[in-house]
Amino acid sequence: MHVVAAPDKFRGTLNAPDVATAVARAVEAAGGTVDTVPVADGGEGTLDALGGANRRTVVTGPLGDLVEAGWRCSAEGSSRQAVLEMAQASGLDLVGGARGNDAVAASTHGTGELVAAALDAGCRRIVLGVGGSASTDGGLGALRALEPLARLRGVELVVACDVRTTFVDAARVFAPQKGATPAQVELLHRRLERLAQVYQQVHGVDVRSVPGSGAAGGLAGGLAAVGARLVAGFDLVAEEVGLADHLDGADLVVTGEGFLDDQSFAGKAVGGVAELARAAGVPVLVVAGEVLEGVEVPEEVAVIALVERCGRERALHDTAACVEEAVAEHLGRR
């Protein structure tokens, strides 16, 4: 049996490469072969899926403290590429989550500094994964950090989005998750409305109707205003890692994430893997930390919930072993 291990991260417990390694151990113990192809949807984990950090830069965190952000730079050459993750510079986790955040003051300035570092390193193609942000500043902080914006000419800036929310809607959809009160949500909403007008006046781009422009509190829209291309994060990652080629001739693909919810099969990584596998005629096993109520799972997809199988304590603190056991059990039934 040949298996493709293509999981997303299990947020808070394991990154995607470690999940893929756990799957590989189970497959090899059963006498099979395995390709490990960790994936992401454009949010946190995109950097890991595309090779991991090989550089570190000190930038301004979302609330002004200095943070060390990892990023990836390709080998020397004319097509030098950078892979960045905004969560490394402007992420909600950097301020201790919603309770430690100032939802109005939080800025993407550090993400702009990270893009600038890639430009200074000679990168002419920059892939930026957005998601997990602390801010709803519409990307204004990032653009100010990038001034003069003429330095972006001739640079391919690709923003990998994990949502299709549009620019002005970002406040009402995401700001409450970042600690914003109802009054602050309305303030941020009005700020984004005004900023959209400014972007149109200054840059000639109406970001209000661009799918995904609300990603990362409007950071995606701010970058689109200055020439960035917004793409579906999973599609970009899948293409970069050659997932479709890996699936050709496979007997099974194993994917998974920490929480399987109603969005998992609607544009997230698990659903993207399942769609590619369906097109290739490959069966799918989803290993999830927990399956939330109301999730509609496609008929051809098998699901194992680690909390149900191993208990919550083990699922949270011995996740790799639980993944390995779950995959081994499934392979034993085939």
184 and 250 together in one domain:
no
Residue 78 has pLDDT above 70, yes or no: no
Residue 323: which CATH number? 3.40.50.10350
- Amino acid at site 201: Q
Residue 262 has pLDDT above 70, yes or no: yes
Residue 170: which CATH number? 3.90.1510.10
Residue 252 has pLDDT above 70, yes or no: yes
**What is the SS3 assignment for 192?**
helix
> How far apart are the C-alpha atoms of 255 and 19, rounded to whole Å?
9
pLDDT confidence tier of residue 333, bands split at 50, 70 and 90: confident
* 26 closest CA partner among 334, 323, 226: 323
Contact 262, 19 (CB under 8 A): no
247 and 323 together in one domain:
yes
Contact 68, 60 (CB under 8 A): no
Tell which of 234, 261, 286 closes a domain: 234
Q: What are phi and psi of 171, to 5 degrees?
A: -65, -50
pLDDT confidence tier of residue 77, bands split at 50, 70 and 90: low
User: Which residues, in sequence order, are bridge partners of residue 254?
Assistant: 5, 285
Q: What are phi and psi of 51, to 5 degrees?
A: 120, -15
183 and 302 together in one domain:
no
Residue 152 is encoded by which pair of tokens? 């972006």
74 and 194 together in one domain:
yes
329 and 189 together in one domain:
no
Count the alpha carbons within 13 Å of 79 in the hemisphere toward its beta carbon. 0
Contacts of 80 (CB under 8 A, 6+ apart): 73, 74, 121, 122, 123, 124, 125
71 and 135 together in one domain:
yes
Q: How many domains does the chain have?
A: 2
Tens digit of pLDDT for each residue in 122-166?
Answer: 999 999 999 899 999 999 999 999 999 999 999 999 999 988 999
83 and 218 together in one domain:
yes
Structural domain span for residue 24: 2-37+242-333
Q: What are phi and psi of 6, to 5 degrees?
A: -130, 60
31 and 78 together in one domain:
no
The pLDDT, as a whole number, for residue 179 is 98
pLDDT confidence tier of residue 178, bands split at 50, 70 and 90: very high
Q: Could you tell me how many helices (H) and strands (E) the chain has, helices first?
A: 14, 11
Going through the chain in order, the beta strands assigned E by DSSP cover 2-5, 33-36, 55-60, 66-73, 81-85, 125-129, 156-161, 229-232, 252-260, 284-291, 301-305
302 and 213 together in one domain:
no
Strand 33-36 with 55-60, pairing = unpaired
Q: Percent of the chain, pLDDT > 70?
A: 99
134 and 193 together in one domain:
yes
180 and 148 together in one domain:
yes
User: Which residues, in sequence order, are bridge partners of residue 55?
Assistant: 71
Strand 66-73 with 55-60, pairing = antiparallel
205 and 280 together in one domain:
no
